[in-house]
Chains A and B, each alone.
Chain A
């Protein structure tokens, strides 16, 4: 659970600036941007997501590298299951 997963910001809620939808290799989920108040990401930006919260902004290259690390670590499947929220997540 130490390893964060990269996601691309797809949409920021119009009624709640702290709530965004990210795309994590094709899976979409809602995340909280509240921990990036001082450096707000915009749609199209890449962020590292940890337990449903964006922790830092990263470059697209870093996102690809991090994804590769997770893949080789054998963590992708588990991470994707987590991102899908074990059935709790209703964003598609």
Chain B
């Protein structure tokens, strides 16, 4: 077991945990959603729940890009790569995500040319190295990743590369938060805002949550102290009856975001009228597609895409877990048919998926960092 003194300012962590207990009191139950999958992972890894009082409940949000992607899109991407001389390139996170006929890795075992890339620019490099083939990059991610895909396409266009396309599955975080707030079975008091998405979009887009939905939101870093401080900031607002957007992660997130990144996205993408999210259903204007100027790099324009909607395996309750209605272990398949080694749902694949995080740390009690030893 590791200890919290591996982090900066362990005394401050302990003091902050004390402050949380004081602010939370006993009377009220607080339900806070951490939007980002990176936060979900960190919460389990650091055993954060063990040092929070019982009346603070953390609900895991939709911010894991591979988790929210419906299976039909994976099937579509793999269908494109059935065409002759197509290389299927995707991030490592995608490789074990199940499609109807298996994951990209399983397709690779059956002979498909599947490559793991770290960066969209590495996918473009693959295209340069394989002029006789067509490289299709399976793009996923929120606003953290979308600008990198956009800039890569701008580079491809400037270079006049003709054997490269993007199957675009980029999604945007704000409409997902809105959909969760609109869901009748979801009662939330506040949000822990995503850290790295906000380096791109800044803090301003969250202002409507405060203004229209009456929910405080604090954009947070990923260290234990960051998350605890964010919870303190939220509790102070809730206790004082205030509703505002605050930035705990100022050292990385500028209030106005990254204008160059937003500009690159605006150059290449436009909003889809609607897009299907696993668990959340169709959400209007919640995803990006490639605009006409870049149509030659749009895999959906260049190839036949089946576009068939696929429902998740019946027994799996990924949707309920994604919405925060069920905890991971309350799913009937959790830890039995569905494990990180043999995932049935995407939430069990990515380290940012709440099922994998829960399984690795909570269920197995393995490798968990002990914050409670000091707090």
A73–B41 touching, CB < 8 Å: yes
Q: Tell me the chain B residues, 313-366 only, with Cβ under 8 Å from chain A.
A: 350-352
A53–B252 touching, CB < 8 Å: no
* Residue B72, interface by CB 8 Å: no
- Once bound together, how far apart are the Cα atoms of A82 and B251, in whole Å? 25
A50–B7 touching, CB < 8 Å: no
* Residue B118, interface by CB 8 Å: yes
Interface string of A77-89 (1 = CB under 8 A from B): 0100111111011
CB distance from A15 to the nearest CB of B (A): 14
* A34 surroundings in chain B (CB, below 8 A): 151, 155, 260, 264
- Once bound together, how far apart are the Cα atoms of A73 and B155, in whole Å? 34
- Once bound together, how far apart are the Cα atoms of A68 and B222, in whole Å? 11
* B369 surroundings in chain A (CB, below 8 A): 72
Q: Which of A1, A52, A82, A88 has the most CB of B within 10 A?
A: A1
Q: Point out the residue from B36, B151, B350 that lies within 8 Å of A35, measured CB to CB.
A: B151
- Once bound together, how far apart are the Cα atoms of A51 and B148, in whole Å? 7
Contact A35-B147, Cβ < 8 Å, known A3-B222, A51-B119, A88-B126: yes
Interface string of A29-49 (1 = CB under 8 A from B): 000101111100000000010
Residue of B nearest to A83 (CB): B118
Q: Point out the residue from B120, B121, B141, B199 that lies within 8 Å of A1, measured CB to CB.
A: B141
Contact A58-B251, Cβ < 8 Å, known A1-B93, A78-B92, A88-B117: yes
CB distance from A44 to the nearest CB of B (A): 18
Q: Point out the residue from B122, B142, B252 that lies within 8 Å of A85, measured CB to CB.
A: B122
CB distance from A30 to the nearest CB of B (A): 9
Contact A55-B258, Cβ < 8 Å, known A3-B222, A32-B121, A35-B147: yes
* Residue A21, interface by CB 8 Å: no
- Once bound together, how far apart are the Cα atoms of A42 and B341, in whole Å? 43
* A9 surroundings in chain B (CB, below 8 A): none
* A32 surroundings in chain B (CB, below 8 A): 121, 148, 151
A53–B38 touching, CB < 8 Å: no
CB distance from A6 to the nearest CB of B (A): 10
Q: Tell me the chain B residues, 1-42 only, with Cβ under 8 Å from chain A.
A: 2, 6-8, 36-38, 41-42
Q: In the complex, which range does the number of interface residues on chain A fall in?
A: 35 or more
A3–B38 touching, CB < 8 Å: yes
A1–B65 touching, CB < 8 Å: yes
Q: Tell me the chain B residues, 240-271 only, with Cβ under 8 Å from chain A.
A: 251-254, 258-261, 264
Q: Which of A35, A48, A55 has the most CB of B within 10 A?
A: A35
* Residue A4, interface by CB 8 Å: yes
* Residue B145, interface by CB 8 Å: yes
- Once bound together, how far apart are the Cα atoms of A4 and B148, in whole Å? 13
* Residue B294, interface by CB 8 Å: no
What secondary structure prevails in chain A residues at the interface with B? mixed
* Residue B144, interface by CB 8 Å: yes
* A65 surroundings in chain B (CB, below 8 A): 8, 223
Q: Which of A2, A35, A68 has the most CB of B within 10 A?
A: A2
* Residue B104, interface by CB 8 Å: no
A56–B258 touching, CB < 8 Å: yes
Contact A50-B145, Cβ < 8 Å, known A2-B38, A55-B199, A74-B367: yes
Residue of B nearest to A64 (CB): B8
CB distance from B206 to the nearest CB of A (A): 17
- Once bound together, how far apart are the Cα atoms of A59 and B251, in whole Å? 8
B2–A62 touching, CB < 8 Å: no
Q: Point out the residue from B46, B144, B194, B259 that lies within 8 Å of A50, measured CB to CB.
A: B144
19 contacts between A and B (CB under 8 A): A1-B352, A2-B64, A2-B197, A3-B38, A34-B151, A35-B147, A37-B260, A51-B118, A51-B141, A51-B145, A51-B148, A55-B261, A72-B6, A73-B351, A81-B92, A85-B122, A86-B92, A86-B115, A89-B118
Q: Could you tell me which B residues sit within 8 Å of A by CB distance?
A: 2, 6-8, 36-38, 41-42, 45-46, 63-65, 91-93, 115-122, 125-126, 141-142, 144-145, 147-148, 151, 155, 194-197, 199-200, 222-223, 251-254, 258-261, 264, 350-352, 367, 369
Known: A2-B144, A51-B148, A86-B115. 11 other contacts (CB 8 A): A32-B148, A35-B258, A48-B252, A50-B148, A51-B118, A51-B119, A56-B252, A56-B253, A59-B251, A84-B118, A89-B122
